[in-house]
Amino acid sequence: MQHYQNLKEHYKFSEEEASILKGLQPRMESLADEFIDGFYDYI
């Protein structure tokens, strides 16, 4: 758990950013497979 906290501090990850990602979670769950396929096609 400490490693996770260190990463958040290192990258200055804010509570606002966490809230934004939490709000995106339902949408991204439904698009996960499509997103991953598109990402790998891009790279």
* Nearest Cα to Cα of residue 18 among 4, 31, 33: 4
* Per-residue pLDDT at 2: 79
**6-37: burial string, b at 16+ Cβ within 10 Å, e else:** eeeeeeeeeeeeeeeeeeeeeeeeeeeeeeee
* Per-residue pLDDT at 1: 64
* Per-residue pLDDT at 11: 93
- pLDDT tens for the chain, residues 1 to 43: 678 889 999 999 999 999 999 999 999 899 999 989 999 999 9
How far does Cα 27 stand from its chain's mean position?
A: 12
